[in-house]
Every structure is written in structure tokens, then in C-alpha cells.
Structure 1
Amino acid sequence: MKKTVGVIGGGQLAWMMAQVASQENINLVIQTPSPTDSAVSLASKTIFGSIDDAKITAELAEFCDVITFENEFVNLEELQTLADKGVTFYPRLSSLSPLLDKYEQRCFLQQQGLPTPHFKAYESSSDFDNFSFPLVLKTRRHGYDGQGTIIIKSPSELTSILPKFDNIPLLIEEFVPFDRELAVIGVRNPLGEIKIYPVVTTYQKNQVCRWVIAPTMLTTSQQETINSIVQTLLISLDYVGVLGIELFLTKKGDILVNETAPRTHNSGHYTLDACVTSQFAMQLQAVTGKKLGSVDLKSSGAVMVNLLGFENADSDYEEKREEIMRLGTFVHWYGKNESRLGRKLGHVTMLLDEDTPEKNQEKGKLIAQQIESIWYS
């Protein structure tokens, strides 16, 4: 019997879920504010309204067997009134609760015995006494794609920046001089079945992900540590769905948890073309209680490059996309009709065929640079 899944949010993550929904025998209904949002053209039905409006979500629930999330900008307290009336949310609201505030998320990670950078909630200037420069400031809520994350290099810089965050709760964090930034996607269904995708290297610029290469190079011990982190989080949260986890690999070879995202994640976009089961199909499988598919790579590796807005314009950049496609890539264009600086407009994936992760990393970097030279020229 065909199930109907509701998604709160209608951007590119819901759009990519909608692309695979029919393969999973699922109707997708979305809640989103704008008729120009990416997923509207593919959804079985759209309920228009703010994503944090529980009254709109109540309308959404009338059509759905289960509701999931494209982003974290929701009002858990109001959604709980719907859950109390029998509406099923996956991930559960209790699973989301410790994760939405970055300080509370860090405290939760610490309580589970997971390794994280040193951190503290900002309440007064004395809270900086146990941190050296550079340090990291993060807004505790609603930060994404580098928004709300600032690296502070000096006391004078801190003094000039703090007034800009007046009355905004902040997290103070030590700056980690990492060897690499990593990410991993974990999945769990209601029966407790867990799957873990290959760990990837992520390249960030100004705290925004530019590209991802899968798989990364890890020792057996590091891989076991990451697997343990994923399993601990999924089980302790009683989590259902896809969970993105960002990590630091320190210069000493240690693994630290940076952040988690309770949804499909940018670092997993490569799975659409490079894995037997994409993270988007896996999300739908998990929330509808299906047996989870395979996370195996179809090739020895892959590189994924985000196509970010580099100007304010109305353009579909067809010539650039065609030139990138001629490299032998898969180009995913999100159908956004307005380009803004830094806005995610699409992504590109290319499969790699080298015989070692090290060679794939080298080739992946060259391909990423080639794609960016075309896109940003």
C-alpha cells in the first residue's frame, strides 16, 4: 500500500526526496511558504504556510502517515500538541529536542561521553577567560551554511563583534587546528536497524562547504571511533531517519564531534549518484519503517561540488552547467530562479575510479578545482 510522507520544508532537500519518492512507492506532501520553492514542482501536494506554524502542520498531518523534516527551524513545543493527538513525527520530537540549540547539543554529546571541542555558553565577558585566540563564536539557534559562525582572531576583534549579537544566545568554542574536516551520514529505522555511509572529507571556505570527497582516508581505529559515535547518537536519541554528523580529525589523529544535523545533509548529496541507496531514499525508507537499503559505493569513490551563488542575478547558468556536464559529471540544478551570494543553487557529482582512497582524494581535488574554475569564472 502506498504511504504518504509529509515534509516540513520545501527546499532542495525536500526536492531530492521528492525525486526518489515514487521509487519507494511513497507520495510526498510538503509544507512550505513559497510557490517558487524547489520541491513544489515535484511534490504530490503542497500545503502553503510558514514551516514553524503548527496550525499549517496540522493541515499537513491530515494527508500523511508520518511527517519528517527538511530543516530544524521548527517550534517543538507547538508540534508536541500534535504529537499528543497522535501525529507521528520521525525523527521523534524527543530526538530533536537536545539537538536544535548548539549549546544544548554539545552538552548532550558530552553526557554521552563523546569527544567534542572545549565549549561554554556565553553569558559574560569572563566566559572567555578559559579560551585562547583564535576562538569560535556560534549562534545557538538557526545557524546553517556558515551563517552564525565566526572565527575570532583577537581580543579587539571580539570587542567589535560582540555588540552585533546583542541579546542573541551564543556558544563559545575552542578553535581546533584540524588536519581534516570530516562528515558521516547515519541512518536508523524504528526497528533499530542502523546503516552508516562512507566517511567523507569536506572542504570548507568561510565556514561553508564547497566540496566533498568520498571515502576519506582513516585508520582502522579512527573508523571504529566514528562508527561508535554514530551508533551511540542514533541509539541514545532513539533516532529514526537520517542524521548528519560533522567531525574534526585533529593533527594528533583524534576524532572530535563538531555538530550534528537531524536531517539529510549536504555532505551526503554524493549518495544520489555514487551509492546504491541515496540518503534521500534512505530517509523515506527509515521513516516508513522499511528495511534499509545498501550504503555501498557504486565506484571506488566520488567527489561532490556545491554550486553556490557568486552574484545577485536571475539566471539558470545553462552554459556553465553544460560545460560542467561535459566533464562526465552528474549535475543537479535545484530550479531556483534567483541567484544570491552564497545561495546553494545546485551540486555536481563525479564518480572516481582510482585504486586507493589516497589517489581518489588527489583526483577528487583536481576535479573539484576544475568544476569551480568553470562555475566561478
Structure 2
Amino acid sequence: MSPPALPLEPGSTIGILGGGQLGRMLALAAARLGFDVVVLEQKADSPAGRAACRLIVADYGDEAALAQLAGLTNLVTYEFENVPSASVAWLAAHGVEVAPGSRALAVAQDRFEEKTFLNANGAPTVAFAKADTAQEAADAVAQIGAPALMKTRREGYDGKGQRWVEHAAGAVSAFEALGGVPVIVEAAASFVRELSVIAARGRDGATAIYPLAENHHENGILRRSIAPAHADAALNDQAERIAARVLAGLDYVGVIGIELFEMERGQLLVNEIAPRVHNTGHWTEDGCEVDQFEQHIRAVAGWPLGPTRAIARVEMVNLLGEEAEAWAKFAAEPETRLHLYGKRGSRPGRKMGHINRVRPL
């Protein structure tokens, strides 16, 4: 395939790898801009699949399905970072434009590579060490100091794939409980609060950075975000510098989520990055002139980036499990905007939707 003519004209088709709620909101944003969307997803009934003009049901590594996706689309993006890197490499090898690129995916899929990249690009993190064996895990905890957080290097989200090691003697059992797979051991962060910044970079290198959000987690799952966060100019400038360094270091195209710790003296440390639209950016749907989903489509399609100015103060609350069944109550609240994902069946902790409670700045 020849590279697509950029910027993509309305009426072009964008492929999305992944059929979850982020893919659904990307598909809806693309439709508003006049694009068609084809989703490649493993399940026949998925939130994004029902919002797309076409759905390909197959494993992400199915080369016949990837070839079909390539033939139907002008370019491809993805909704989550655990898409197999081999699938992105296959598309790229066959002339398909994929954004964000494979470099971002490779960095984000391995927590050790991620933190190594961040430190090399002037984005500070907590101290960390890698371990491939139980003995190396014990040595890493001894080096970092307990308490320490042990995480699998690959996969894991919403608090999965990680364990606190309260004492050095517990390192081996923690390693075994995580499956005996390669891990990263991270120093505990005595942070004041958790923040995040959503940022975008276009194909021309232009950047657009949203105001900071303050985030609150429960059981490893994001519960709510408040944005714009109360922050002085120095803190905002620090977040923008970090975002700019990450975007440039990855030669990034699209929207990225960067999770941050604010330390006691005002220093920001990067917790992790997500090369995609992000849960902590859902507030932008009702709080900004151009939300993160439209911004991502603009970026990958080669369009000018939109403004990121906040037009309202928003409290975003994730609706987990049966909480989404109170949709009628939320719909009746004048200050509340309801976003449901169309998932079939709820279970405890499953993200079924979110609400944005909107107030004047």
C-alpha cells in the first residue's frame, strides 16, 4: 500500500484495533468529523464494534484479518496499549500507516523500558530495578528498599499485576504470586496527590496540552477525576515540559495520557504513560472546546490540533458495575452529562460508563 494522502479528507476510513469503550468514543468522534471507522476486535459484540460502520471479528494477530483491515482503511490507530506489537509491525511492513507508532507501543508495553525511556528523556520517576528471577527480585527490593511495589513488566492494568512488598523477606513470595514472570520493583512514592496530563502531538510536530486533572483511585481503579486541578503556574509549566519531552522522545502522533505524582516539594514524577486516549481525560468531553477523542482523530488524520482550553470545571466519576443502572437518576441531574459504553452485562469493578458533573470555572 502507498502512504495515505494527508491530511485525510472527510469520507476516508480509519481503522481501530480494539473494541472497548475507548474505541467506541474514538469512533463516535471520527464520525462527527466525517470519517468512517472499521474496528478489528476479538468479540462479535463490542462497544466500539456497534459504533463503527464495519467490524472485523478476529484475533489481533490474524494476518488475514489484518490484511482485510489494511484494504479497507486509509490509516490505523489503536485504543489500548496491549495490542500485540507484532500486529502493528505487520501492518507497517505492509505499507499501512499506524499512529501512534510502534516505538510508543514498545515503550509502554514494558514497564522497565518505559521508566528507562522516561528518565533518559528528562521525565523523572521513582527509583526502580528489574528482576527476572526470584533471587533478582529479592536483590532488587534490597537495593530499592522496602516497602516497594513489585509489578509485572508486561500487561496489567487497573491495579492488576502488582503487589506491595512490605519487607525484604517477602520479595520471593511476591515474585511467585505474580507468576514468576519478569518484574520491575519500584520505590514507594510519598506523594501528595495523583495528577495526570493529557497531551497531543500532530504530524507536523505541533503540540496541544490539556490542563492537569487530579485523580482518585480505589482498589487500583480510577474512581474520579477533578479538572482543571488546582495548580499554580510552576506546577502546570512542569507538567507541560514533561509532556513535551515525552511526545518528542517518542516522535509521537496522537493523544497520550501521562500519570503523575506530585511530591511534597512540588516536584512531579511520572508514574506511567499510556499511548492512547485515557480515562483521566474523559472530563474533556464536557469541559473543553475539543475533547481528547476528537483531538486524537485530528492528530492521526493530519488535521490541525484543536484548542485545549477548559470551558468548565468537571468532576468525572467512573460508573462501575451496577452503578450504571442509576442512569435515569443521572440523566435527570441538570449538571450531569451521562456517558454509557453499551457493554453487555455488568460485574463488580467493570467500567460501564462515566458521568461528568459540570460546573462553571
The answer to whether the superposition gives a TM-score over 0.5 is yes
The CA deviation at 1:157 is: 4.7
Q: How does 1:1-377 map to 2 (within 5 A)?
A: 1=9, 2-123=11-132, 124=136, 125-155=138-168, 157-299=170-312, 301-309=313-321, 317=325, 320-328=326-334, 329-353=336-360
**1:343 Cα offset (Å):** 0.9
**What is the CA distance between 1:96 and its match in structure 2?**
2.2
- Taking every aligned residue pair, what percent have the same amino acid on both sides? 34
* Distance in 2 of aligned mates of 1:53 and 1:265: 26
Contact 1:214/1:303 (8 A) holds in 2: yes
CA displacement at 1:39 relative to structure 2: 1.2
User: What is the CA distance between 1:153 and its match in structure 2?
Assistant: 2.5
Alpha-carbon contact 2:13-2:74 (below 8 Å) kept: yes
Q: Runs of 5+ in structure 1 lacking a partner?
A: 355-377
More deviation in 44-53 or 235-244?
Answer: 44-53
**Residue 374 of structure 1: aligned partner:** none
Tell me if structure 1 keeps the 8 A contact 2:110–2:153: yes
CA-CA distance at 1:159 after TM superposition: 4.5
SS of residue in 2 equivalent to 1:202: strand
Amino acid at match of 2:108: L
The alpha-carbon deviation at position 224 of structure 1 amounts to 1.2
- Is the contact made by 1:51 and 1:73 (CA closer than 8 Å) also made in structure 2? no
CA distance in 2, matches of 1:217, 1:267: 15
One-letter amino acid of the counterpart of residue 180, structure 2: N
Instruction: Kindly indicate whether the alpha-carbon contact (under 8 Å) linking 2:27 and 2:51 is maintained by their aligned counterparts in 1.
Output: yes
When residues 153 and 54 of structure 1 are mapped into structure 2, their CA distance, relative to the original with a 3 A threshold, is: farther
TM-score normalised per structure 1: 0.88
SS across alignment from 1:34:
coil
Query: In the TM superposition, what whole-angstrom CA distance separates every residue of 1:312-339 from its partner, at most 9, and x where no partner exists?
Result: xxxx61xx11112333211111111211
Equivalent position SS for 1:129: helix
Aligned to 1:363: none
Provide the TM-score with structure 2 as the length reference.
0.92
The SS at the match of 1:88 is coil
Alignment partners' CA distance in 1, 2:31 and 2:86? 32
* Matching residue's letter, 1:189: G
SS at 1:113 equivalent: coil
Q: Distance in 2 between matches of 1:326 and 1:297?
A: 24
Number of equivalences: 347
Of 172-181 and 16-25, deviating more is: 16-25
Which amino acid in 2 is paired with 1:41? R
CA deviation after TM superposition for structure 1 residue 251, in Å: 1.5
CA deviation digits over 1:31-67, x for unaligned, max 9?
Answer: 0011221112110100111234344222111111110
Paired with 1:78 and 1:31, the residues of 2 have a C-alpha distance of: 11
Tell me, in whole angstroms, the C-alpha distance in 2 between the residues paired with 1:327 and 1:159: 51
Structure 1 runs of 4+ off > 6 angstroms? none
